[in-house]
Amino acid sequence: MQQPTVLISGAGVAGTTLAYWLLQHGLAPVVVEKAPAVRPGGYKIDLRGAALEVADRMGILEEVRRHRTDVREATVVDARGSRVKSMDADSFGGRVHGDAEIMRGDLTRILYDLTKGKADYRFGDSIAELEQGPDGVRVTFESGRTESFDLVVGADGLHSRTRALAFGPEERFVRDLGYHVSIFSVPNHLGLDRAELTYVGPGRTALAYTTARDSGAKAMFLWSSRPQDYGVRETAEQQRLLAEAYRGQGWEVPRFLEALPAAPDFYFDSLSQVHMDSWSAGRVALVGDAAYCASPASGQGTSLAMVGAYVLAGELAASGGSPEGFTAYEQAVRPFADANQKLGPAYVKRMVMAGPAQVRISLLMLRLLQHLPGKDRMTAKVLEPIQRAANAIELKAY
């Protein structure tokens, strides 16, 4: 008997994790990715809680830990570059109990290597049209090729093409939190060694960091923005908006912006979440950011992607590869997704100060915190919500 075929749109963390677990359960995944290869580089991301258990069940947890960024210290600086507060990077990033910070590109490569030569990967192509029938989904690709699949899963991110085709325009589901984020490579002119520096200005945050296996540095910008900026796709216009948002800012911001034209990995987007009443429609479903993006401010996007993909594959296998598995997957994962989505709006307000007065008060409090007794307990209390959300699901052994 022929196994059900599942088309996965997207070869990121969610797509490659899903491909691995579908193979483990005897289903036949086909992964289509518009990029010419698995995307390298990217920014640093975290694996926490239930996602660590998924990685362990995949047999990659030790390899993930071998590729940790090994960032050791995080420091907040003021506009003159004076150090306000330093702490260990794991505490600053909300990591405890063996949580792992890794570059996104390293994690995707590890996941891809598990399935390379086993899953059918088709790079340089993407879905153009979907037509659902009683027994399958007829898919037309951008290349002009047409093929039928039993099921289709969109693992294609915040701006999911699969979601738009099967559910409607993204404006119905994507909620702009009122911020933008940009990340790109810059020369390490500060001489950082596995360290992170964060500058906080009114409505503007900028940071730079280096990792264990990168001689250069990454610069990240997070700022309050107007909803009408949403939807800009042209790189030149995105870079103009970024430079305009940070005009007149202090610290090393001007030097980082000078590196913009030469950056090979410029990333720019709104800080947004995805909220949907249902993650499936007939024989089409969504996983990861396409279904329940929590925003980078949550620190949980990658963990959500891995956990969601694990559960989706398991429930599809339990249902014999039928769309009934989509319903069981959503019932199992939605409370977990909801808990982690709540982190985003709360944490971004701590990352971006609303105005000059809040900046002054926050920097003063950070300086005082250096000398207060019990500061470790205070830090643990601040980080408790993210750890609780990261573990807000009990994984079945499918």
Backbone CA torsion sign across 374, 379, 385, 391: negative
> What secondary structure letter does DSSP report for 96?
-
Pick left, alpha or beta for residue 394 (phi over 0 → left; psi -120 to 50 → alpha; otherwise beta). Answer: beta
Pairing of strands 280-281, 73-77: unpaired
Cα separation, 328 vs 340, in Å, equals 19
| Structure-block tokens of residue 8 | 């996965």
The pLDDT, as a whole number, for residue 380 is 54
The pLDDT, as a whole number, for residue 340 is 95
The pLDDT, as a whole number, for residue 373 is 45
* pLDDT tens, position by position, 96-114: 668 899 999 999 999 999 9
Cα separation, 167 vs 277, in Å, equals 11
Give phi and psi for 171, each to the nearest 5.
-60, -25
Cα separation, 398 vs 221, in Å, equals 41
Domains defined for the chain, CATH in brackets:
5-70+99-174+273-344 (3.50.50.60), 73-98+176-272+346-389 (3.30.9.30)
Task: Give the closest residue to 194 by CA, choosing from 62, 68, 361.
Answer: 68
**Are 152 and 15 in contact, with CB atoms under 8 Å apart?**
no
What is the chain's pLDDT, residue by residue, as a tens digit (398 residues)?
467 799 999 999 999 999 999 999 999 899 999 999 998 878 899 999 999 999 999 999 999 999 999 988 888 888 888 887 777 777 666 676 688 999 999 999 999 999 999 999 999 999 999 999 999 999 999 999 999 999 999 999 999 999 999 999 999 999 999 999 999 999 999 999 999 998 988 889 999 999 998 889 999 999 998 765 546 678 998 999 999 999 999 999 999 999 999 999 999 999 999 999 999 999 999 999 999 999 998 989 999 999 999 999 999 999 999 999 999 999 999 999 999 999 988 888 777 766 554 555 454 444 444 544 444 554 555 678 888 999 999 999 99
The pLDDT, as a whole number, for residue 358 is 53
The pLDDT, as a whole number, for residue 375 is 44
The pLDDT, as a whole number, for residue 76 is 85
The pLDDT, as a whole number, for residue 350 is 75
> What secondary structure letter does DSSP report for 75?
E
The pLDDT, as a whole number, for residue 232 is 61
On whether the pTM is more than 0.85, the answer is yes
Run of H or E including 176: strand 174-186
What do you get for the CA distance between the two ends of the chain, in Å? 21
Among the residues of 61-210, which ranges form H helices? Answer: 61-66, 89-92, 104-115, 161-167
Pairing of strands 174-186, 267-274: antiparallel
Sheet order of strands, 284-286 included: 120-123, 28-33, 5-9, 151-154, 284-286, 280-281
Task: Give the closest residue to 253 by CA, choosing from 208, 193, 217.
Answer: 208
